[in-house]
Amino acid sequence: MASDKEKYFNFPIQLLEGFLLNDKQVLNDILYYAIYKHYLDYLGYGNKKLAIKETKIFFNVSLADDNKSLERGEILIDSLPSNSPMVGLNLSIFWDYYKNEKTEFEKVTLLGFLAIKSILQNKSYCKITNKYWLSRMDGKTKTVSEYYELSNSLKKYNVPYQLRKIKAELEQNWNLKTVSGRGFNVSFKMSLIALTYEVLKRRKKYKDEVLRKQKNEAKKKALQQLYGTQPKRNL
């Protein structure tokens, strides 16, 4: 059996909604969702009691009421689209936040971490905007049109100082690598040097393409000046 550090509670990003207001409720729902999802896999063998038993063993959890936990998990799964963006929360981090009191900044840092993970998925790196990042932190699947659409509890973090502070914490203690530009590039897999190289390479490719188009346009205009506009033939 894999260790707890290699196991995750996988859940839709929408479950993060309201985390800054009631973190325990959100964490409970993440637990119930993941438990029920895993339970369904075991249920394929046809034994409900064995399915919940094996699920609890797999995650090394005990439940106050198995039936109520499964009922809540079923409600959550049925209420959310099957194609929702998913994210995985390491069990060690989950239980740290579940069992220990956290400051609001520690909570918003976790939201920032999970939001980026949900955007990256299996990609080595990608470019995102602050608006997209905050939207995912708020449990939204798509980027909000305007910042006022964010929840009140998250709006106060939509200032450069707070965003830089969250990014710095993720870089220092959560293994995130970032390279800024128009938006910012993020990676958990690449080194800072490797990420910077990819960003610069992409910028060079873009600049080369712009230059090529400019040269073609300049050539076209120069030819028009040189030869003039060809008169239309009368039929």
Domains of the chain listed by start with CATH number = 4-99 (no CATH), 104-194 (1.10.10)
Q: Average pLDDT for residues 176-201, to the nearest whole number?
A: 89
Q: List, for residues 93-110, the tens digit of each pLDDT value.
A: 999 999 999 999 999 999
Answer yes or no: are the C-beta atoms of 127 and 184 closer than 8 Å.
yes
pTM: 0.83
* Choice among 116-120, 164-168, 212-216 with the minimum mean pLDDT: 212-216
Q: Average pLDDT for residues 58-68, to the nearest whole number?
A: 92
The number of C-alpha atoms within 13 Å of 135 and in the hemisphere containing its C-beta is 16
Q: Average pLDDT for residues 35-63, to the nearest whole number?
A: 88
Q: List, for residues 191-202, the tens digit of each pLDDT value.
A: 999 998 888 887
Strands (E), 13-129: 86-90, 126-128
Q: Rounded distance, CA 176 to CA 6, Å?
A: 19
**Most distant CA pair in the chain, distance:** 91
